[in-house]
Amino acid sequence: MEHCEVIVIGLGAMGAATVYQLAKAGVDVVGIDRYHPPHTLGSSHGDTRITRLSVGEGAQYVPIVKRAQQLWRELEALSGESLFEQSGLLALTSSPDFDPDDKSDFTLRTIGLAKAYGIEHEVLDAKQIRQRFPQFAHVRDDAIGYFEPGGGFVRPERCIEVQLRLAAQHGATLHTGETVTGISSDEHGVTVTTNLRTVKAGKLVFSAGNWAGGLLGEPFDRLLSVYRQMLFWFELEPGAGLEGASPTFILTHGRGDNNINYGFPAQPGEGSLKIATAQYHTASQPDLLDRSVSAEQARAMYEQQVQGRIAGVTDKVLKSAVCAYTVTPDRHFIIDQHPTLKHTLVVSACSGHGFKHSAALGEAFAQWCTRGSTDLDLSSFTLKRFEGTLS
């Protein structure tokens, strides 16, 4: 039987940030993961994740991402690794259904939030988009763009690796390749059982990503759905001139989830542009995910998302990957104390938009463990909002 002050289950984006912050604060922490993070079986792989201060998903996220961007820079200084690249973030809508008064349009929401929060940005018309970003030479005449010069991407695998390494240097105990099979609690603390040991602690942070619903049961198994997503690296056309000259982008080309895609700058030496879209119609089980991408799926992606919309890339897929979102009914996060397990904070895998916030959330979870409150306001992520669904 091992004893410690805090156990963290799951050492992906959220767990790595949490164990790092706890260990840095001098807390005796044990982190447990069924695999060896960073790995390719959860939600935190694929080289790049978008980060932007104007978080079109909602104003509640702005202070979190601001703090996270500071922490990426601190982690870079400590590790010597490049984690956060300010390539600039371009959100644009070029859609036959575009309505300049549509409050649900992602680009318009992003512009509105940037104005409200004084975030540095430019609003671009079609001519400016075409001039400045040749891969969007085909945008419609009524296209609108938002450019955030400080936005860009973070490197998820490196962020996780660096935080776990620093956590271990600060004295964290990390049990990887070890699967949690049971959790119980009483007034004194929590007991976590794995396939190899039992650990007791005063507090537990639960961040098991795609597997959270299966491990926690009610009500999380009903609130969390896992959706398989595919990532594609399309080969650049010869002479496309995009390497070092393309922004991170989010392109809306129609209404609905199927008509939004996003991508990243062409990385030097790779000869490709990473482009993806998200699907929320077919749920999966994390252990049953099909992790291969077929030629047919690659062709459908090119035809529906790339052809005629993003210039400078061919239909040849140089690399692909499968990753999974864990999504709540309103697509916002769940960050709350477990309704029946005592001393336990649950963090959902953040519905496909959590990575950019993870460094700051880890800091907040460490504060919750050490003093029972957080500097960041996390009150909009409670389970209470699903009360109607829970009964």
Ligand X SMILES: Cc1cc2nc3c(=O)[nH]c(=O)nc-3n(C[C@H](O)[C@H](O)[C@H](O)COP(=O)(O)OP(=O)(O)OC[C@H]3O[C@@H](n4cnc5c(N)ncnc54)[C@H](O)[C@@H]3O)c2cc1C
Binding site for ligand X (CB under 6 A): 9-15, 32-35, 37, 42-44, 46, 49-50, 179-180, 207-211, 215, 229, 231, 323-325, 349-350, 352-356
Nearer to ligand X, 43 or 95 (CB): 43
Q: Which two tokens stand for residue 92?
A: 């644009």
CB of 13 to ligand X, least distance (A): 3
Residue 262 and residue 275 in contact, taking contact as beta carbons nearer than 8 Å: yes
Active site residue 48: yes
β-bridge mates for residue 335, sequence order = 347
Query: Is 384 in the active site?
Result: no
Name the DSSP letter for residue 110: H
Whether 121 is catalytic is no
Give least dist CB 264 to ligand X, A.
9
Q: Which of 24, 34, 49, 253 is catalytic?
A: 49
- Taking the complex as a whole, how short is the minimal distance between the CB of residue 224 and ligand X, in angstroms? 11
- Please give the C-alpha separations between residue 265 and each of 49, 115, 271, in angstroms, as whole numbers: 11, 26, 11
Q: How many CB atoms lie within 10 A of CB 296?
A: 8
Which of 24, 109, 130, 356 is an active site residue?
356
Q: Which is nearer to ligand X, 126 or 168 (CB)?
A: 168
- Catalytic residue status for 274: yes
Helix ranges restricted to H, the chain: 13-24, 62-79, 106-117, 126-132, 156-169, 212-216, 220-223, 295-301, 358-371, 387-390
Active site residue 316: no
Nearer to ligand X, 130 or 263 (CB): 263
Least CB distance to ligand X at residue 130 (A)? 25
> CB-based contacts of 230: which residues, under 8 Å, 6+ apart?
276, 293, 297, 301, 320, 321, 322
Among residues 48, 93, 110, 248, the one annotated as catalytic is 48
d(CA 222, CA 171): 37
Distance, in Å, from the CA atom of 31 to the CA atom of 324, rounded to the nearest integer, reads 22
The nearest distance, CB 230 to ligand X, in angstroms, is 8
Q: Of 64 and 130, which CB lies nearer to ligand X in the complex structure?
A: 64
Q: How far is the CB of 181 from ligand X (least distance, A)?
A: 7
Catalytic residue among 103, 281, 371, 384: 281
Task: List the catalytic residue out of 323, 326, 344, 369.
Answer: 323
Contacts of residue 331, defined as CB under 8 A and 6 or more positions apart, other chains included, come to: 57, 351, 352
- Closest-by-Cβ residue to ligand X is 12
CA 352 and chain centroid, separation: 5
Dihedral sign for Cα atoms in the order 326, 330, 331, 333: negative
Q: Are 226 and 326 in contact (CB under 8 A)?
A: yes
Between 29 and 130, name the residue whose CB sits nearer to ligand X: 29
Q: Which is nearer to ligand X, 128 or 259 (CB)?
A: 259
Q: Which amino acids are annotated catalytic?
A: 45, 48-49, 274, 281, 323, 356
